Amino acid sequence: MPFVPEPITPSAEHRGEAAAVEPSPSPARTPDDPGEHARTARHCAGEGRLGEALEWCAKAIAADRLDPAHYYLLAAIQQEQGQLDTAAQSLARALYLDADFALAHFALGNLRLSQGRRRDAERHFANALAVLRARAQDEILPEADGLTVGRLAEIIASVRAIQPRAAA
C-alpha cells in the first residue's frame, strides 16, 4: 500500500485564532516516568505552583527512590516554602544516596548558614570543595543549569570569605 500523507491543516495561530493553552498534566494521568515527573515539578516550581511541584516531585521519588536529584529538587521546593528542617532532611537523603553530590553539599551548607549553624555550614562547604577538587574545572555539574565545577568552587570560596571567623 503506498504512503499517503496526512492533509496539512493550518494551526490555530496561522488561522488567526488564539492557540489553546495546554494545562499541565495531572500526576494521575502521566505514565511513571520519573524524569518527566521531575521536569514537570521544576516547571511548576518555576511558575510558583509549589504545592503542585511537591506532588510531581513525590511522583518522581515514588517512581525512582534511588535518584538523589529528586531529593535535591524536593529540598529546593521545601526551602522555598520555608520548610528548612524538612529541606535539610531531603538534602541529607540526597547525600546518603550520592556522597559526591557537590551541589547538595553546597545547598545544605547555605541552608545551615541561614539557620546560623556556621560549623555545620563550613563542614558542608568543605565536603563540596573536596568533591569538586576531584573533577575537571570546566565540567558542568548535574542539576546545576550549566554551572561548572570551577564556578561553584569560586562561589563557595566567596561565601566562606565573607563569613566571620569563629573565636578560637
HEC states along 1-22?
CCCCCCCCCCCCCCCCCCCCCC
Question: Helices in the chain by DSSP H: which ranges?
Answer: 34-46, 50-63, 68-80, 84-97, 102-114, 118-133, 149-161
pLDDT given at position 18: 45
Residue type, 155: I
Residue type, 47: E
Question: Which residues have CB under 8 Å from 91's CB, separation 6+?
Answer: 71, 72, 75, 104, 107, 108, 111
Q: Under the phi-then-psi rule, with left for phi > 0, alpha for psi from -120 to 50, and beta for the rest, what region is 110? A: alpha
Decide: 84 and 111 in contact? Cβ < 8 Å.
Answer: yes
DSSP class of residue 87 equals H
Sorted by where each begins, the domain ranges of the chain are: 30-98, 99-168
Length of the chain equals: 168
pLDDT given at position 14: 41
Decide: 70 and 60 in contact? Cβ < 8 Å.
Answer: yes
Each residue's pLDDT, cut to its tens digit, for the chain (168 residues) gives 343 334 344 444 444 444 444 445 554 545 688 989 999 999 999 999 999 999 999 999 999 999 999 999 999 999 999 999 999 999 999 999 999 999 999 999 999 999 999 999 999 999 999 999 999 999 999 889 999 999 999 999 999 999 876 544
CATH (residue range 30-98): 1.25.40.10
Distance between CA 138 and CA 77 in Å, rounded? 28
| Residue 90 grid coordinates | 531531603
Q: Helix, strand, or coil here: 162?
A: coil
